[in-house]
Structure 1
Amino acid sequence: MKKIAVLSGDGVGPEVTTAAVSVLKALTGDIDMISADCGYECYKRTGESLPVSTLEIIDECDAVLMGGITIPTDDRSFRNPITEIERRMRLELNIRRIESIIPELSSIDIDATFIRNASDDVNVTEINDIDSVDVTRSYLYSEMDRTFIASREYAERNDSKTILFAHEGDPASEMESMSIESFHRCMVGTSMSSDDVSIPELASRILTKPNTIDTVISYNPFSDVLSEMVAKLTGGTYLVPCATINRTRGLFRPLHGSNPDLAGYNATNPTASLRCAAMMLDFLGYKDEGNKLWEAIRSAYKRGFRTPDVGGGTGTYGFIEQIVKICENPN
């Protein structure tokens, strides 16, 4: 039996994670879901954003399903639990899947997955004066290979047809040349079509030929900027699931934040959390159940069930009721 740690988080987090849990219970009865505490509200109560008791639960689980976390800007002692959990679980890839599930709200027609290294952050070094910085990246050659191989395996498991590596396009960069060489070497033998493109070229393709984009590997800040841009073009972050995984374990959370001002109004869109649950089911080996949930979400939108943020009048819990009904009777 698979075990999932459910961390509701802050703000609207409890609403959307409760929604996802109710659907998971309707889809499968052999997943053990264990609730645990973390986040800013936990920090205010206990002095810890991620208690030891929560870490012990996470250590026993195959996956973590998480809500949004409020990050205070005026308290430097607050630790971001997401970062801590990713390190604790030794997660490797950050994945965002973005799909045009509401055509009339989408500026582009796309179904794409954006992947980057989970620990990928730029190093910024100040030079010359306060307005001049040098942005550099430093990776072990073996780490490049691990990222590309893990990305290839994920894409193949999810039936991707094409995979792109998006880079800065600097011909003078030795690091960039090494990355491109590593990517092509790691793609040898795959049945997917593979290529490398510059960030500007990829941005142009997204806007002009979005249905040709499938799986994209890049690094920060470009991967997050591009994926958030595409999210805005397809209806917003409340539709987008995010996962951080290694080969056996994963953390699944919506792309949107905690938005505490919306909590308690039964108006929050739970789609991102539901799609997180679908990604998690796929990842844990419940592919049929995951596909059923993906299709139920698409079907609900086609039937006109929508929360206020996407032009409808269905509440959070009403939307969940419809998803459960469709899962039980797809026709």
Structure 2
Amino acid sequence: MTHTIAVLRGDGIGPEVTEAALSVLGACVPLKVHEGVIGGAAIDATGDPLPAATLETCLRSEAVLLGAVGGPRWEGPVRAEAGLLRLRQSLGLFANLRPARFMGLPTPLREALARHADILVVRELSGGVYFGEPRGGNDTDAFNTWRQSAAQVRRVAHVAFRAARRRRRRVTSVDKANVLETSRLWRRVVSEIAREYPDVELEHRYVDAAAFELLAAPHRFDVVLTENLFGDILSDEVGVVVGSIGLLPSASLGEGPSLYEPVHGSAPDLAGHGTANPAGAILSAAMMLELSFNCAELARSVEAAVMATLREVRTPDLGGRATTAEFTAAVRRNLEWLRWSHASPEDEPSYEWGV
């Protein structure tokens, strides 16, 4: 079966890592690819960070593969990141999944702390301060509005609890209920939803305590459920656990086509050098295989191929010398070996996002 996807390469290293992910994805399933522009590249081409043609392409596709958006060139009144926020809103995306698991690589943490880390951050995407209105500002004063509805919390909470059932059956809900009314609503609704999942343990943490514990004792966490802003920050923090933010994939789920993208940014200083780490983008493609195409076994094979590659081939962010192209070629070789040798992907540890 041929799968139709929209590909938005974006800015900075986005085109390079997207090409790597496409190479691996195309080795797994037949693809019909429709290209679109987003972010700074779209501003340069059309003046709009999310042109209507790009959105239409995404809405007609089974899934969307995104590189990265943003950079210092687009920090004026029309920002590149606005295209991504509008895309999430237009596709009805409400749950962002960001898995992070220790891969045996050097990290800033002591290995004894990081060794057993296996975390899934579930981030609410449709509410919070990123979308709250009114908002505005001038040279001396600025304001934003933080809004959160009970309905938004309920639907993302169900995603987190269902995921926990396929993992270690523990949800840590992160908020700031001692200060924020929106967080008090969040905590109340999450506690209500937890009663529907008596087999899953729920604990609540304030965001400042959670940020500390994620580094001090990452092995304690299973599924971390939180709102938009907190999730944006904490899911980048867990990059420390695996050794590089370049290793982190993500999937955004909702009412229409799902969006897959690496967690890292556009890294404009690395663009064009051919040394960007494509692992996060390739693992995002693995999430697409499972969650959008129902190809779980192929997804496990891609994960196993990435893990096998990381033992011998590493990009500069991981202390190696491999180029983006060399890393990608090694992943494809390992993927081919897994398929023809009939080796089981279960021989390698795998992510479990469980939705």
Specify whether residues 287 and 248 from structure 1 end up closer, same or farther in structure 2 by C-alpha distance, changes over 3 A only.
farther
Cα distance between partner residues in 2 of 1:93 and 1:100: 23
Cα distance between partner residues in 2 of 1:169 and 1:142: 18
Cα distance between partner residues in 2 of 1:139 and 1:182: 11
Please tell me whether the aligned partners of residues 250 and 260 of structure 2 are also in contact (alpha carbons under 8 angstroms): yes
TM-score by length of 2: 0.81
Q: Which residue of the other structure, out of 225, 236, 240, is the alignment partner of 1:228?
A: 236
The question of 1:7 aligning with 2:8 is answered yes
Instruction: Pick which of 6-15 and 212-221 moved more.
Output: 212-221
2:61 aligns to what? 61
Instruction: Pick which of 261-270 and 139-148 moved more.
Output: 139-148
Specify whether residues 319 and 56 from structure 1 end up closer, same or farther in structure 2 by C-alpha distance, changes over 3 A only.
same
The question of 1:180 aligning with 2:187 is answered yes
2:346 aligns to what? none
Cα distance between partner residues in 2 of 1:283 and 1:228: 22
Q: State the shift of 1:83 in Å.
A: 1.1
Q: Which residue of the other structure, out of 121, 124, 132, is the alignment partner of 1:117?
A: 124
The superposition leaves residues 298-321 of structure 1 with CA deviations (integer Å, 9 ceiling, x where unpaired) of 11112x210111111111111111
Please tell me whether the aligned partners of residues 50 and 84 of structure 2 are also in contact (alpha carbons under 8 angstroms): no
Cα distance between partner residues in 2 of 1:240 and 1:205: 19
Cα distance between partner residues in 1 of 2:253 and 2:85: 13
TM-score by length of 1: 0.87
The superposition leaves residues 144-188 of structure 1 with CA deviations (integer Å, 9 ceiling, x where unpaired) of 2222123333444x5453211112251x76654443232122123
Unaligned runs of 5+ in 1: none
Cα distance between partner residues in 2 of 1:137 and 1:48: 26
Q: Which residue of the other structure, out of 221, 224, 244, is the alignment partner of 1:213?
A: 221
Identity of aligned residues (%): 26
2:348 aligns to what? none
Specify whether residues 103 and 52 from structure 1 end up closer, same or farther in structure 2 by C-alpha distance, changes over 3 A only.
same
What SS does the corresponding residue of 1:262 show, helix, strand or coil?
coil
Q: State the shift of 1:220 in Å.
A: 4.2
Specify whether residues 324 and 141 from structure 1 end up closer, same or farther in structure 2 by C-alpha distance, changes over 3 A only.
same
What SS does the corresponding residue of 1:216 show, helix, strand or coil?
strand
Q: State the shift of 1:287 in Å.
A: 1.0
Cα distance between partner residues in 2 of 1:286 and 1:173: 41
The superposition leaves residues 200-248 of structure 1 with CA deviations (integer Å, 9 ceiling, x where unpaired) of 4433432333212111011243322222222134322211123221155
Instruction: Pick which of 224-233 and 306-315 moved more.
Output: 224-233
The question of 1:25 aligning with 2:26 is answered yes
1:87 aligns to what? 89
The question of 1:202 aligning with 2:210 is answered yes
What SS does the corresponding residue of 2:27 show, helix, strand or coil?
helix
Q: State the shift of 1:56 in Å.
A: 1.6
Cα distance between partner residues in 1 of 2:232 and 2:140: 24
The question of 1:298 aligning with 2:326 is answered no
Q: State the 4+ residue runs in structure 1 displaced beyond 3 angstroms.
A: 71-74, 123-126, 130-138, 153-156, 172-178
Please tell me whether the aligned partners of residues 124 and 133 of structure 1 are also in contact (alpha carbons under 8 angstroms): no
Please tell me whether the aligned partners of residues 166 and 218 of structure 1 are also in contact (alpha carbons under 8 angstroms): yes
Please tell me whether the aligned partners of residues 171 and 224 of structure 2 are also in contact (alpha carbons under 8 angstroms): yes
Cα distance between partner residues in 2 of 1:13 and 1:286: 25
Unaligned runs of 5+ in 2: 344-355
Please tell me whether the aligned partners of residues 243 and 318 of structure 2 are also in contact (alpha carbons under 8 angstroms): yes
Instruction: Pick which of 250-259 and 31-40 moved more.
Output: 31-40
1:148 aligns to what? 157
RMSD: 2.8
Specify whether residues 33 and 136 from structure 1 end up closer, same or farther in structure 2 by C-alpha distance, changes over 3 A only.
closer
What SS does the corresponding residue of 1:34 show, helix, strand or coil?
strand
Please tell me whether the aligned partners of residues 2 and 32 of structure 1 are also in contact (alpha carbons under 8 angstroms): yes
2:350 aligns to what? none
The superposition leaves residues 61-118 of structure 1 with CA deviations (integer Å, 9 ceiling, x where unpaired) of 1211011112445431345221121111011112222222243235123221112210
Specify whether residues 167 and 323 from structure 1 end up closer, same or farther in structure 2 by C-alpha distance, changes over 3 A only.
same
What SS does the corresponding residue of 2:224 show, helix, strand or coil?
strand
